[in-house]
Chain A
Amino acid sequence: MRAVRFHGRGGQGAKTASRILGTAAFLEGFVAQDSPIYGAERRGAPVAAFTRIDTLPIKQRGAIVHPDLVVVADASLVQDPAARVLEGIDERTAVFVNSPLIAEQFQAKTSLPGRLTTLDLTDIALQQFGKRGAISALLGAVAGRLVGLQRESIREAIARELADLGLAAAVIERNQTTALQCYDAVPAVPLETGSPRPIVPVLLRTPTYEPPTRGTAGITAGPNSAIRSVAGWRTFRPVLRPDLCNGCWLCFANCPEGAIAIKPDGKPAIYYPHCKGCLDCVEVCPTDALTVERETEAAREA
């Protein structure tokens, strides 16, 4: 069995990538299973998806705790404990990260265990499609390469899965071409699945319920969501050039997040830990005082 776990942010296409991988494996005659998991959260929040590939019927279900391959669509997730990227990774696990850093740099920075490969898929998508957005085909192709699937089945799987999403033929074709370039850019790693890990039997117990007065979660303090940073959601950041700003407040009024505050002098200031990078502010600014920069690891921390 090959057990592959994808990590991405809602909207990046981790779920579709896991489907592409599963479909490609199926086309090659394997048994395949894929399933995604989202929390209650929305686009931009951590998402995971699981693909199992085998020659025999697959009896396991649910999350993959001991993956053979982990595919990370957004490098910032590695540091996010809520995303649980590191779970079950040991030195035998193959890991792919979408990052501009080369593998050694990334490994040094994050002390990620596992055998690491990186490629800047976001940059490739930007160059090829001219916009950010789903990188599902690219992720699926890289995963397919790493587990040793064929080019042709990947190409066909991309066509099927993207057509299901209602994408136009021309868009699908561009995805196929770009995805196969990514496929060629990463070397296949012989996966070491090793001896099967013991499965711990799970005992089912009937939970004891608290009465609603005690069992219902309540928050009695004031607005505390602001202590959470959403900086990791950004692919791009808006940057203010104060000299061009006429102080019209359009950006302040239009920011859905409330990430723009008005300073005492009447001019806006962006508070980056609260900015999800939607770029609405850039779109409405009448003087081009707001510009767009590609988010980098260093910028995100600033």
Chain B
Amino acid sequence: MAWEPHMFKELHQIPREEHVFPGTPLCAGCGGLESLRLASKVLGSHVVYVNAAGCFTNLAAFPFTPLDASWLYTTMGSAPAGAQGVRDALDVLIAKGRLPKEEDLKVVVLGGDGSTYDMALSSTSGAITRKLDFYYFCYDNEAYGNTGVQLSPATPYGARTSTSPCGVQHPAGTTQEKKDIFEIWRAHKPPYMATVSPRFPLDLEEKFARAEEYRGPKLFLAFAACPTGWLFDPAYTPDVARLAVECGLWPLKEAINGTVTHTYIPKRKPVEEYLKLQGRFRHLFEPTRQDEAIRHIQARVDDYWKQVNG
């Protein structure tokens, strides 16, 4: 669909048609699946998904697939290289007249944060440098989710994972800060990048529609609230996703040819409201409150927004 500004002003404009069907073995309440389902409504069915190993491996568990598009499975480190192969093959087929131009397909990488921030980073960097015309959809559940919620470079400070438990030495859990993959991508000067959250479906749909205008590498970082890994009841996926944005921890923004625009400026509730909902941060509140760690998380958010507002 051709994009016009503010195409998605109200929920009734969200396409009814589904392109990611039900019946997958992904967890109930998976925020990553919710993001992909909404994204696919704009991406449509003329797509090849190139999927790095991760939770989304379980999308298509043989002999079932929920996609009315094609799906190619790759190792964790090589999805962007796989996408290059698919794109090249499509281009060659079109150039030789063996595939009509109208039947061209979009190439979309699906990767968890483990692949995106970590293992596939060199492959990604190469693909962006080669100006590969593809979408990169990262569902960021802030851990290596599929293998038991291990620390990833996307895990935020203070979260407990199975490999960064809270102990005597590190009472706050993870001591590293979340890697800023958005800025790493932006340094490569791709034409389009955005962060999205499924709890802001109109913003999400709008960004996917807008990205269609751009040829070259396009990044989507989707907030993937993860009930299983973040230890909250799946009913609260919408609240966790909303509070991440409202507390300023997950800024909704896009960068067109490197220029960043924030598409939503939250009033910024205290980060505590977000942290308190999740078991992975419970140790910050009980048995003893860790004020220092909570202040630290709040300060990082405040610093970010100070720089945004000038």
Name A residues whose Cβ lies closer than 8 Å to a Cβ of B. Answer: 10-11, 39-45, 131-133, 166, 168-169, 217, 219, 221-230, 233, 248-250, 252-259, 261-262, 266, 271, 274, 276-280, 282-284
Taking a contact as CB atoms under 8 Å apart, the answer to whether A219 and B63 are in contact is yes
Taking a contact as CB atoms under 8 Å apart, the answer to whether A223 and B21 are in contact is yes
Taking a contact as CB atoms under 8 Å apart, the answer to whether A258 and B16 are in contact is no
Interface of A, helix, strand, loop or mixed by DSSP? loop
Known: A42-B55, A219-B60, A280-B234. Contact between A253 and B66, CB under 8 A?
Answer: no
Instruction: Tell me the complex Cα distance, A70–B294, Å.
Output: 45
User: A266 — nearest CB in chain B belongs to which residue?
Assistant: B12
Q: How far is the CB of A233 from chain B (nearest CB, A)?
A: 6
Question: Which of B22, B237, B279 lies in contact with A225, CB distance below 8 A?
Answer: B22
Counting CB contacts under 8 A, is B239 at the interface?
yes
| Other contacts beyond A217-B63, A223-B67, A228-B23: 16, CB < 8 A | A40-B61, A133-B233, A219-B71, A225-B22, A225-B60, A225-B64, A253-B11, A253-B38, A254-B198, A254-B199, A256-B34, A258-B18, A258-B22, A280-B234, A282-B235, A283-B237
User: A236 — nearest CB in chain B belongs to which residue?
Assistant: B235
Stretch at the interface among B128-136, B214-222, B281-289: B281-289
Known: A217-B63, A223-B65, A256-B30. Contact between A278 and B16, CB under 8 A?
Answer: no
Contacts between chains A and B (CB distance < 8 A), count: 150
Q: Which residues of A contact B37 (CB under 8 A)?
A: 256-258
Instruction: Tell me the complex Cα distance, A271–B279, Å.
Output: 31
Taking a contact as CB atoms under 8 Å apart, the answer to whether B68 and A222 are in contact is yes
Q: Which residues of A contact B235 (CB under 8 A)?
A: 278-280, 282-283
Q: How far is the CB of B219 from chain A (nearest CB, A)?
A: 22
Taking a contact as CB atoms under 8 Å apart, the answer to whether B22 and A226 are in contact is yes
Q: How far is the CB of B163 from chain A (nearest CB, A)?
A: 13
Taking a contact as CB atoms under 8 Å apart, the answer to whether A166 and B14 are in contact is no
Give the one of B14, B26, B31, B57 with max A CB within 10 A. B26
